[in-house]
Structure 1
Amino acid sequence: MKIVVSWIRKRDLHILTVGILTYTSDQRFQVIRPEKSSNWTLQIKFPQLRDSGIYECQVNTEPKISLPFRLNVIESKAKILGSTDLHVKVGSSVTLTCSVNKGPHDLGSIFWYKENEILQEDHLHRMTIKNQWTDGLTSKLHISTVHLSDSGKYSCVPTMAIPADVNLHIINGEHPAAMQHGNTNSGVASFVPHLYPEFWPIIVWILNDHRHR
Protein backbone atom coordinates (compact mmCIF):
# COMPACT_ATOMS: atom_id res chain seq x y z
CA MET A 1 0.00 0.00 0.00
CA LYS A 2 1.28 3.42 -0.94
CA ILE A 3 1.83 5.64 2.08
CA VAL A 4 -0.08 8.92 1.88
CA VAL A 5 0.36 11.76 4.36
CA SER A 6 -2.45 14.28 4.91
CA TRP A 7 -2.77 17.48 6.93
CA ILE A 8 -6.09 18.26 8.67
CA ARG A 9 -7.20 21.49 10.36
CA LYS A 10 -9.01 20.26 13.46
CA ARG A 11 -11.29 23.23 14.21
CA ASP A 12 -13.36 22.60 11.08
CA LEU A 13 -11.94 19.17 10.06
CA HIS A 14 -10.86 20.69 6.77
CA ILE A 15 -8.50 18.51 4.72
CA LEU A 16 -5.72 20.89 3.70
CA THR A 17 -3.37 18.56 1.84
CA VAL A 18 -3.25 14.94 0.70
CA GLY A 19 0.16 13.86 -0.49
CA ILE A 20 1.56 16.75 -2.51
CA LEU A 21 -1.91 18.01 -3.49
CA THR A 22 -3.58 20.97 -1.78
CA TYR A 23 -7.33 20.91 -1.08
CA THR A 24 -8.00 24.47 -0.01
CA SER A 25 -8.57 27.68 -1.94
CA ASP A 26 -6.34 29.50 0.54
CA GLN A 27 -3.06 29.69 -1.37
CA ARG A 28 -1.09 30.36 1.80
CA PHE A 29 -1.18 26.63 2.56
CA GLN A 30 1.10 24.13 0.88
CA VAL A 31 2.96 20.96 1.74
CA ILE A 32 6.72 20.74 1.33
CA ARG A 33 8.42 17.38 0.75
CA PRO A 34 12.00 17.31 -0.52
CA GLU A 35 12.75 14.59 -3.06
CA LYS A 36 13.31 11.15 -1.49
CA SER A 37 12.50 12.58 1.93
CA SER A 38 10.07 11.15 4.49
CA ASN A 39 9.31 14.62 5.90
CA TRP A 40 5.97 16.21 4.99
CA THR A 41 5.94 19.83 6.17
CA LEU A 42 2.80 21.96 6.18
CA GLN A 43 3.73 25.55 5.34
CA ILE A 44 1.47 28.52 6.09
CA LYS A 45 2.64 31.74 4.46
CA PHE A 46 1.87 35.04 6.18
CA PRO A 47 0.19 33.44 9.24
CA GLN A 48 -2.71 35.31 10.83
CA LEU A 49 -4.27 35.19 14.29
CA ARG A 50 -7.18 33.12 12.96
CA ASP A 51 -4.70 30.41 11.89
CA SER A 52 -4.05 29.52 15.53
CA GLY A 53 -5.24 26.06 16.51
CA ILE A 54 -4.51 22.36 16.16
CA TYR A 55 -3.30 20.82 12.90
CA GLU A 56 -3.08 17.06 12.56
CA CYS A 57 -0.76 15.01 10.39
CA GLN A 58 -2.39 11.71 9.35
CA VAL A 59 -0.84 8.66 7.66
CA ASN A 60 -3.08 6.14 5.87
CA THR A 61 -1.65 3.09 7.61
CA GLU A 62 -3.74 0.39 9.27
CA PRO A 63 -4.37 1.33 11.98
CA LYS A 64 -4.18 5.01 11.09
CA ILE A 65 -1.30 7.04 12.53
CA SER A 66 -1.88 10.67 13.48
CA LEU A 67 0.08 13.37 15.26
CA PRO A 68 -1.44 16.72 16.34
CA PHE A 69 0.46 20.03 16.43
CA ARG A 70 -0.71 23.22 18.12
CA LEU A 71 0.01 26.49 16.31
CA ASN A 72 -0.01 29.73 18.31
CA VAL A 73 0.18 32.86 16.16
CA ILE A 74 1.42 35.88 18.12
CA GLU A 75 0.83 39.41 16.86
CA SER A 76 3.86 41.57 17.63
CA LYS A 77 3.28 45.30 18.01
CA ALA A 78 5.75 48.15 18.27
CA LYS A 79 5.29 50.66 21.09
CA ILE A 80 6.68 54.18 21.34
CA LEU A 81 7.13 55.07 25.01
CA GLY A 82 5.30 58.13 26.30
CA SER A 83 2.45 60.16 24.87
CA THR A 84 1.32 59.93 21.25
CA ASP A 85 1.54 63.75 21.08
CA LEU A 86 4.76 65.43 22.21
CA HIS A 87 5.42 69.17 22.44
CA VAL A 88 9.07 70.21 22.28
CA LYS A 89 10.62 73.68 22.40
CA VAL A 90 12.82 74.83 19.52
CA GLY A 91 16.51 74.23 20.24
CA SER A 92 15.98 71.48 22.82
CA SER A 93 16.60 67.78 22.29
CA VAL A 94 14.22 64.84 22.09
CA THR A 95 14.58 61.07 22.17
CA LEU A 96 11.88 58.76 20.82
CA THR A 97 12.14 55.20 22.12
CA CYS A 98 10.42 52.34 20.30
CA SER A 99 10.33 48.77 21.60
CA VAL A 100 9.12 45.40 20.33
CA ASN A 101 8.61 42.57 22.80
CA LYS A 102 10.58 39.40 22.31
CA GLY A 103 8.76 36.78 20.26
CA PRO A 104 9.36 33.17 19.21
CA HIS A 105 11.08 34.35 16.03
CA ASP A 106 13.66 36.79 14.72
CA LEU A 107 12.49 40.32 15.51
CA GLY A 108 14.22 41.73 12.44
CA SER A 109 15.10 45.42 12.56
CA ILE A 110 13.42 48.80 13.11
CA PHE A 111 13.26 51.75 10.71
CA TRP A 112 12.12 55.30 11.50
CA TYR A 113 10.00 57.39 9.16
CA LYS A 114 8.88 61.01 9.23
CA GLU A 115 5.60 61.08 7.33
CA ASN A 116 6.51 58.79 4.37
CA GLU A 117 10.24 59.53 4.29
CA ILE A 118 12.73 57.13 5.85
CA LEU A 119 15.09 58.75 8.37
CA GLN A 120 18.85 58.27 8.44
CA GLU A 121 21.63 59.65 10.58
CA ASP A 122 23.14 62.87 9.24
CA HIS A 123 26.85 63.66 9.03
CA LEU A 124 26.50 66.37 11.70
CA HIS A 125 25.03 63.81 14.13
CA ARG A 126 22.08 66.08 14.85
CA MET A 127 19.92 63.01 14.31
CA THR A 128 21.09 59.59 15.50
CA ILE A 129 19.43 56.17 15.50
CA LYS A 130 20.54 53.34 17.79
CA ASN A 131 19.09 49.81 17.80
CA GLN A 132 19.64 47.47 20.72
CA TRP A 133 18.80 43.78 21.15
CA THR A 134 18.31 42.56 24.76
CA ASP A 135 15.10 40.91 25.99
CA GLY A 136 13.45 42.54 23.00
CA LEU A 137 14.27 44.97 20.22
CA THR A 138 14.65 48.66 21.12
CA SER A 139 15.38 51.59 18.83
CA LYS A 140 16.09 55.18 19.88
CA LEU A 141 15.75 58.16 17.56
CA HIS A 142 17.57 61.16 19.04
CA ILE A 143 17.43 64.73 17.69
CA SER A 144 19.97 66.89 19.50
CA THR A 145 18.68 70.32 18.40
CA VAL A 146 15.11 70.39 17.14
CA HIS A 147 13.98 72.82 14.44
CA LEU A 148 10.47 73.92 13.50
CA SER A 149 10.81 71.76 10.39
CA ASP A 150 11.09 68.68 12.62
CA SER A 151 7.35 68.85 13.40
CA GLY A 152 5.33 65.96 12.01
CA LYS A 153 4.32 62.33 12.42
CA TYR A 154 7.13 59.92 13.26
CA SER A 155 6.67 56.19 12.72
CA CYS A 156 8.59 53.30 14.21
CA VAL A 157 8.38 50.56 11.55
CA PRO A 158 9.70 47.10 12.51
CA THR A 159 10.20 44.49 9.82
CA MET A 160 8.41 41.84 11.94
CA ALA A 161 5.74 43.78 13.86
CA ILE A 162 2.93 46.32 13.55
CA PRO A 163 4.26 49.93 13.40
CA ALA A 164 3.65 52.69 15.98
CA ASP A 165 3.28 56.46 15.49
CA VAL A 166 3.89 59.63 17.49
CA ASN A 167 3.12 63.26 16.61
CA LEU A 168 5.95 65.68 17.36
CA HIS A 169 4.98 69.35 17.78
CA ILE A 170 7.83 71.88 17.79
CA ILE A 171 6.97 75.04 19.74
CA ASN A 172 8.66 78.38 19.08
CA GLY A 173 8.54 79.83 22.60
CA GLU A 174 6.59 78.89 25.73
CA HIS A 175 3.47 76.80 25.38
CA PRO A 176 0.67 76.46 27.95
CA ALA A 177 0.06 72.79 27.22
CA ALA A 178 2.29 69.74 27.43
CA MET A 179 5.93 70.46 26.66
CA GLN A 180 8.95 68.20 26.53
CA HIS A 181 12.26 69.72 27.56
CA GLY A 182 15.75 68.85 26.40
CA ASN A 183 17.69 65.78 27.53
CA THR A 184 14.53 63.83 28.25
CA ASN A 185 14.38 60.08 27.99
CA SER A 186 12.01 57.74 26.19
CA GLY A 187 9.89 60.53 24.74
CA VAL A 188 7.93 61.11 27.95
CA ALA A 189 6.49 64.62 28.09
CA SER A 190 6.48 66.71 31.25
CA PHE A 191 3.68 69.18 31.92
CA VAL A 192 4.48 72.85 32.56
CA PRO A 193 1.83 74.92 34.37
CA HIS A 194 1.10 78.30 32.80
CA LEU A 195 0.20 81.29 34.98
CA TYR A 196 -2.20 83.61 33.19
CA PRO A 197 -1.74 87.41 33.79
CA GLU A 198 -5.39 87.93 34.78
CA PHE A 199 -4.78 85.99 37.99
CA TRP A 200 -1.72 87.97 39.09
CA PRO A 201 -3.63 90.76 40.99
CA ILE A 202 -5.48 88.12 43.02
CA ILE A 203 -2.25 86.37 43.99
CA VAL A 204 -0.53 89.66 44.89
CA TRP A 205 -3.54 90.69 47.02
CA ILE A 206 -3.46 87.37 48.89
CA LEU A 207 0.29 87.72 49.54
CA ASN A 208 -0.03 91.32 50.77
CA ASP A 209 -3.02 90.46 52.95
CA HIS A 210 -1.07 87.57 54.48
CA ARG A 211 1.92 89.82 55.29
CA HIS A 212 -0.23 92.41 57.12
CA ARG A 213 -1.70 89.83 59.48
Structure 2
Amino acid sequence: MQGAKCSTMVFIPHLSLCLVFATTGCRSWSSGPAFVGSAVNVTVSEGKHAFLPCRVSNLGDKSVTWLKRRSLHIITAGLLTYSPDDRYRVLHPAQSEEWTLHIRTVQAGDSGWYECQVNSDPKITRPVYLIVQDKSHTDPYYTHELEMPRNGTSVQMAGASEVHIQRGSVLSMACTVDHTDQEGPRSVVWYHGATRIRYDDPRGGIAIKTEKTAQRTVSRLMLSGVSPEDSGRYTCRPETGGTAAVTVHVQSGQQHQAAVQQSGHSASRPSLILLVWSLSHLLPRPST
Protein backbone atom coordinates (compact mmCIF):
# COMPACT_ATOMS: atom_id res chain seq x y z
CA MET A 1 0.00 0.00 0.00
CA GLN A 2 1.48 3.36 -1.06
CA GLY A 3 2.73 5.49 1.86
CA ALA A 4 2.64 2.67 4.41
CA LYS A 5 5.64 2.22 6.72
CA CYS A 6 7.53 -1.09 6.79
CA SER A 7 10.00 -2.19 9.45
CA THR A 8 13.17 -3.95 8.38
CA MET A 9 15.32 -5.79 10.92
CA VAL A 10 19.10 -6.03 10.32
CA PHE A 11 21.40 -8.16 12.46
CA ILE A 12 25.07 -7.14 12.66
CA PRO A 13 27.50 -10.04 13.11
CA HIS A 14 29.68 -10.19 16.25
CA LEU A 15 27.54 -7.48 17.85
CA SER A 16 24.50 -7.96 20.01
CA LEU A 17 22.66 -5.29 18.10
CA CYS A 18 19.43 -5.39 16.20
CA LEU A 19 18.69 -2.24 14.23
CA VAL A 20 15.17 -1.47 13.02
CA PHE A 21 14.81 0.83 10.04
CA ALA A 22 11.48 2.44 9.14
CA THR A 23 10.96 3.05 5.44
CA THR A 24 8.13 4.36 3.31
CA GLY A 25 6.79 3.34 -0.07
CA CYS A 26 6.37 -0.28 0.97
CA ARG A 27 4.23 -2.42 -1.38
CA SER A 28 1.73 -4.99 -0.09
CA TRP A 29 2.02 -8.26 -1.99
CA SER A 30 -1.52 -9.75 -1.99
CA SER A 31 -2.99 -12.51 -4.13
CA GLY A 32 -5.01 -11.66 -7.24
CA PRO A 33 -8.77 -11.87 -7.72
CA ALA A 34 -10.46 -15.07 -6.58
CA PHE A 35 -14.01 -16.37 -6.39
CA VAL A 36 -15.50 -16.88 -2.95
CA GLY A 37 -17.64 -19.98 -2.33
CA SER A 38 -18.50 -22.78 -4.71
CA ALA A 39 -20.43 -22.81 -7.97
CA VAL A 40 -24.20 -23.21 -7.62
CA ASN A 41 -27.30 -23.99 -9.67
CA VAL A 42 -30.21 -21.56 -9.46
CA THR A 43 -33.78 -22.84 -9.90
CA VAL A 44 -36.67 -20.41 -10.34
CA SER A 45 -40.24 -20.61 -11.62
CA GLU A 46 -41.17 -18.98 -14.91
CA GLY A 47 -42.22 -15.36 -14.42
CA LYS A 48 -40.26 -14.90 -11.18
CA HIS A 49 -36.96 -13.08 -10.58
CA ALA A 50 -33.62 -14.89 -10.76
CA PHE A 51 -30.50 -13.91 -8.82
CA LEU A 52 -27.26 -15.47 -10.06
CA PRO A 53 -24.53 -15.10 -7.41
CA CYS A 54 -20.92 -14.17 -8.01
CA ARG A 55 -18.59 -13.08 -5.21
CA VAL A 56 -15.04 -11.97 -5.98
CA SER A 57 -12.33 -11.12 -3.46
CA ASN A 58 -9.21 -9.02 -4.11
CA LEU A 59 -10.73 -7.59 -7.29
CA GLY A 60 -8.42 -4.56 -7.27
CA ASP A 61 -8.55 -2.68 -10.56
CA LYS A 62 -10.02 -5.61 -12.48
CA SER A 63 -13.64 -5.83 -13.64
CA VAL A 64 -16.42 -8.42 -13.49
CA THR A 65 -18.32 -9.43 -16.62
CA TRP A 66 -21.44 -11.56 -16.97
CA LEU A 67 -22.22 -13.40 -20.19
CA LYS A 68 -24.40 -16.25 -21.40
CA ARG A 69 -22.26 -19.15 -22.48
CA ARG A 70 -24.52 -20.33 -25.32
CA SER A 71 -24.44 -17.03 -27.20
CA LEU A 72 -21.22 -15.56 -25.72
CA HIS A 73 -22.99 -12.21 -25.64
CA ILE A 74 -21.83 -9.88 -22.90
CA ILE A 75 -24.69 -9.06 -20.54
CA THR A 76 -22.95 -6.76 -18.07
CA ALA A 77 -19.46 -5.40 -17.54
CA GLY A 78 -18.81 -3.75 -14.23
CA LEU A 79 -21.96 -1.84 -13.36
CA LEU A 80 -22.95 -1.29 -17.00
CA THR A 81 -25.54 -3.41 -18.82
CA TYR A 82 -24.75 -4.14 -22.47
CA SER A 83 -27.65 -6.47 -23.26
CA PRO A 84 -30.55 -4.86 -25.15
CA ASP A 85 -32.86 -6.87 -22.88
CA ASP A 86 -33.76 -4.53 -20.03
CA ARG A 87 -34.58 -7.43 -17.70
CA TYR A 88 -30.87 -7.73 -16.85
CA ARG A 89 -28.87 -5.73 -14.33
CA VAL A 90 -25.98 -6.34 -11.96
CA LEU A 91 -26.35 -5.83 -8.22
CA HIS A 92 -23.18 -4.60 -6.51
CA PRO A 93 -23.54 -2.99 -3.08
CA ALA A 94 -20.80 -0.40 -2.51
CA GLN A 95 -17.56 -1.76 -1.03
CA SER A 96 -18.84 -5.34 -1.28
CA GLU A 97 -17.53 -8.43 -3.07
CA GLU A 98 -20.96 -9.26 -4.55
CA TRP A 99 -21.64 -9.05 -8.28
CA THR A 100 -25.09 -10.64 -8.58
CA LEU A 101 -26.80 -10.89 -11.96
CA HIS A 102 -30.50 -10.04 -11.57
CA ILE A 103 -32.92 -11.27 -14.26
CA ARG A 104 -36.51 -10.05 -13.99
CA THR A 105 -39.53 -12.16 -15.04
CA VAL A 106 -37.49 -15.11 -16.28
CA GLN A 107 -38.64 -17.10 -19.29
CA ALA A 108 -38.04 -20.67 -20.38
CA GLY A 109 -35.44 -19.47 -22.89
CA ASP A 110 -33.36 -17.97 -20.08
CA SER A 111 -32.37 -21.45 -18.89
CA GLY A 112 -28.75 -22.47 -19.40
CA TRP A 113 -25.17 -21.71 -18.42
CA TYR A 114 -24.06 -18.21 -17.44
CA GLU A 115 -20.48 -17.14 -16.71
CA CYS A 116 -19.12 -14.62 -14.25
CA GLN A 117 -15.68 -13.58 -15.52
CA VAL A 118 -12.83 -11.51 -14.12
CA ASN A 119 -10.35 -10.00 -16.59
CA SER A 120 -7.31 -10.98 -14.55
CA ASP A 121 -4.20 -12.62 -16.02
CA PRO A 122 -5.00 -15.41 -16.45
CA LYS A 123 -8.75 -14.82 -16.78
CA ILE A 124 -10.90 -16.61 -14.18
CA THR A 125 -14.46 -17.82 -14.75
CA ARG A 126 -17.27 -19.01 -12.47
CA PRO A 127 -20.16 -20.88 -14.21
CA VAL A 128 -23.73 -20.68 -12.87
CA TYR A 129 -26.53 -22.85 -14.26
CA LEU A 130 -30.04 -21.38 -14.35
CA ILE A 131 -33.05 -23.71 -14.39
CA VAL A 132 -36.40 -22.12 -15.26
CA GLN A 133 -39.32 -24.34 -14.28
CA ASP A 134 -42.58 -24.37 -16.18
CA LYS A 135 -44.93 -22.38 -13.96
CA SER A 136 -47.54 -25.12 -14.28
CA HIS A 137 -45.29 -27.42 -12.26
CA THR A 138 -45.59 -25.19 -9.21
CA ASP A 139 -49.10 -23.81 -9.76
CA PRO A 140 -51.52 -25.53 -7.35
CA TYR A 141 -54.45 -24.35 -9.49
CA TYR A 142 -53.04 -25.76 -12.74
CA THR A 143 -55.76 -27.07 -15.06
CA HIS A 144 -54.98 -30.23 -16.99
CA GLU A 145 -55.75 -30.36 -20.70
CA LEU A 146 -59.21 -31.63 -21.49
CA GLU A 147 -58.98 -35.32 -22.32
CA MET A 148 -62.00 -37.07 -23.76
CA PRO A 149 -62.82 -40.43 -22.18
CA ARG A 150 -62.68 -43.47 -24.43
CA ASN A 151 -65.38 -46.07 -25.20
CA GLY A 152 -68.23 -44.39 -23.39
CA THR A 153 -66.43 -43.98 -20.07
CA SER A 154 -67.64 -41.07 -17.91
CA VAL A 155 -65.65 -39.45 -15.10
CA GLN A 156 -67.07 -37.20 -12.39
CA MET A 157 -66.13 -35.89 -8.96
CA ALA A 158 -68.61 -36.35 -6.13
CA GLY A 159 -69.96 -33.20 -4.49
CA ALA A 160 -69.49 -29.55 -5.36
CA SER A 161 -66.92 -28.32 -7.84
CA GLU A 162 -65.52 -25.89 -5.27
CA VAL A 163 -64.83 -26.79 -1.63
CA HIS A 164 -64.05 -24.57 1.37
CA ILE A 165 -62.61 -26.38 4.37
CA GLN A 166 -61.04 -25.42 7.68
CA ARG A 167 -57.33 -25.70 8.34
CA GLY A 168 -56.40 -28.85 10.26
CA SER A 169 -59.43 -30.86 9.16
CA VAL A 170 -59.69 -33.87 6.84
CA LEU A 171 -60.28 -33.42 3.12
CA SER A 172 -62.01 -36.34 1.40
CA MET A 173 -62.69 -36.57 -2.33
CA ALA A 174 -64.24 -39.31 -4.47
CA CYS A 175 -63.78 -39.79 -8.22
CA THR A 176 -66.33 -42.01 -9.95
CA VAL A 177 -65.61 -43.69 -13.28
CA ASP A 178 -68.59 -45.35 -15.00
CA HIS A 179 -67.64 -47.88 -17.67
CA THR A 180 -70.75 -49.75 -18.75
CA ASP A 181 -69.41 -50.75 -22.16
CA GLN A 182 -65.90 -51.86 -21.26
CA GLU A 183 -63.57 -53.05 -18.54
CA GLY A 184 -62.75 -50.41 -15.94
CA PRO A 185 -59.43 -48.54 -15.65
CA ARG A 186 -56.51 -50.39 -14.12
CA SER A 187 -55.52 -47.22 -12.24
CA VAL A 188 -56.78 -43.76 -11.32
CA VAL A 189 -54.14 -41.07 -10.78
CA TRP A 190 -54.68 -38.00 -8.59
CA TYR A 191 -53.00 -34.61 -9.11
CA HIS A 192 -52.65 -31.47 -7.00
CA GLY A 193 -52.13 -28.84 -9.64
CA ALA A 194 -49.64 -30.47 -12.01
CA THR A 195 -48.04 -32.61 -9.28
CA ARG A 196 -48.97 -36.26 -9.01
CA ILE A 197 -50.16 -37.31 -5.54
CA ARG A 198 -48.67 -40.47 -4.04
CA TYR A 199 -49.61 -42.14 -0.78
CA ASP A 200 -45.95 -42.14 0.31
CA ASP A 201 -45.47 -38.43 -0.36
CA PRO A 202 -43.25 -36.69 2.26
CA ARG A 203 -46.28 -34.60 3.24
CA GLY A 204 -47.74 -37.62 5.01
CA GLY A 205 -51.38 -38.13 5.98
CA ILE A 206 -52.39 -39.29 2.49
CA ALA A 207 -54.68 -42.24 1.83
CA ILE A 208 -55.81 -43.44 -1.61
CA LYS A 209 -58.29 -46.29 -2.01
CA THR A 210 -59.87 -47.63 -5.21
CA GLU A 211 -62.97 -49.83 -5.34
CA LYS A 212 -64.04 -51.64 -8.52
CA THR A 213 -67.25 -53.27 -9.67
CA ALA A 214 -68.27 -54.54 -13.09
CA GLN A 215 -69.58 -51.16 -14.22
CA ARG A 216 -68.03 -48.61 -11.87
CA THR A 217 -64.67 -47.68 -10.36
CA VAL A 218 -64.49 -45.29 -7.40
CA SER A 219 -61.16 -43.80 -6.28
CA ARG A 220 -61.09 -41.97 -2.95
CA LEU A 221 -58.42 -39.52 -1.84
CA MET A 222 -58.14 -38.40 1.79
CA LEU A 223 -55.75 -35.78 3.18
CA SER A 224 -55.48 -35.28 6.94
CA GLY A 225 -54.47 -32.08 8.72
CA VAL A 226 -54.85 -29.82 5.71
CA SER A 227 -53.12 -26.43 5.58
CA PRO A 228 -53.30 -23.47 3.16
CA GLU A 229 -50.53 -25.15 1.14
CA ASP A 230 -53.07 -27.88 0.30
CA SER A 231 -55.33 -25.37 -1.45
CA GLY A 232 -55.62 -25.71 -5.20
CA ARG A 233 -57.15 -27.80 -7.95
CA TYR A 234 -57.37 -31.57 -7.47
CA THR A 235 -57.79 -33.70 -10.59
CA CYS A 236 -58.44 -37.41 -11.00
CA ARG A 237 -57.35 -39.05 -14.25
CA PRO A 238 -58.32 -42.68 -14.94
CA GLU A 239 -56.09 -44.73 -17.20
CA THR A 240 -58.99 -45.10 -19.66
CA GLY A 241 -59.11 -41.35 -20.30
CA GLY A 242 -61.14 -38.42 -19.09
CA THR A 243 -60.63 -36.16 -16.08
CA ALA A 244 -62.65 -34.62 -13.27
CA ALA A 245 -61.58 -31.87 -10.88
CA VAL A 246 -62.50 -29.97 -7.74
CA THR A 247 -61.05 -26.69 -6.44
CA VAL A 248 -60.20 -26.63 -2.72
CA HIS A 249 -59.73 -23.58 -0.49
CA VAL A 250 -58.24 -24.21 2.96
CA GLN A 251 -59.14 -21.40 5.35
CA SER A 252 -58.50 -20.57 8.98
CA GLY A 253 -60.78 -19.56 11.85
CA GLN A 254 -64.07 -17.80 11.33
CA GLN A 255 -63.12 -16.94 7.76
CA HIS A 256 -64.30 -20.33 6.57
CA GLN A 257 -67.65 -20.59 8.36
CA ALA A 258 -69.87 -19.05 5.68
CA ALA A 259 -67.98 -20.82 2.92
CA VAL A 260 -68.35 -24.18 4.67
CA GLN A 261 -72.13 -23.78 4.72
CA GLN A 262 -72.09 -23.18 0.97
CA SER A 263 -69.97 -26.24 0.16
CA GLY A 264 -71.57 -28.55 2.69
CA HIS A 265 -68.20 -29.64 4.12
CA SER A 266 -67.38 -29.44 7.81
CA ALA A 267 -64.22 -29.72 9.88
CA SER A 268 -63.39 -32.89 11.76
CA ARG A 269 -60.63 -34.43 13.83
CA PRO A 270 -58.11 -35.52 11.17
CA SER A 271 -56.11 -38.27 12.83
CA LEU A 272 -59.09 -40.29 14.12
CA ILE A 273 -61.11 -40.04 10.92
CA LEU A 274 -58.18 -40.98 8.68
CA LEU A 275 -57.41 -43.99 10.88
CA VAL A 276 -61.01 -45.22 10.89
CA TRP A 277 -61.36 -44.63 7.14
CA SER A 278 -58.17 -46.54 6.38
CA LEU A 279 -59.02 -49.46 8.68
CA SER A 280 -62.48 -49.77 7.19
CA HIS A 281 -60.90 -50.49 3.80
CA LEU A 282 -58.08 -52.67 5.06
CA LEU A 283 -59.87 -55.01 7.48
CA PRO A 284 -61.67 -57.99 5.90
CA ARG A 285 -65.42 -57.72 5.77
CA PRO A 286 -67.50 -60.47 7.42
CA SER A 287 -68.96 -62.96 5.00
CA THR A 288 -72.71 -63.18 4.63
Q: TM-score normalized by structure 1?
A: 0.49
Q: Which has the higher contact order (CA 8 A, sep 6+)?
A: 1
Q: TM-score normalized by structure 2?
A: 0.37
